[in-house]
Amino acid sequence: MTAITKRPLSSRDWFGKTMAGLVLGFFLALGLAGLLRVLVNGGLPFFSARGQLSMWLMAPVWGLILSFCFLFRSSLQAWGWLFLANLAVWGLTALLGGLRL
């Protein structure tokens, strides 16, 4: 029997991880800001303090996602997990009525 060895973290897939963090990380941060607005705002306008908080928290969250995307072992794993996180966040936001067209 051979033991399954995990691939160590490397800088080999940095471009794919960066693109996953930039593209999917942006949409994940946008979805999290929308979800925060739905949960906390309670129908107040965007110019209220709570609306501004949800809007201005998007940039630091996007920066954190972009920073942590380099902890994935491959770019495919980064794209996959961030895609699943986007589905979960945007689905929950839609379920709570936060998507208005």
**pLDDT reading at 14 higher than 60:** yes
On the 0-12 / 13-18 / 19+ scale of CB atoms within 10 A, 19 is middle
What are the residue ranges spanned by the domains of the chain? 26-95
pLDDT of residue 9: 67
User: What confidence tens digit (pLDDT) does each residue in 23-76 have?
Assistant: 999 999 999 998 988 888 766 676 788 778 888 999 999 999 999 999 998 999
Give Rg (Cα) of the chain. 17
CB-CB contact of 89 with 30 (8 Å): no
Record the pTM: 0.84
**C-alpha to C-alpha distance for 9 and 15, rounded to whole angstroms:** 14
pLDDT of residue 10: 67
**Residue-level length of the chain:** 101
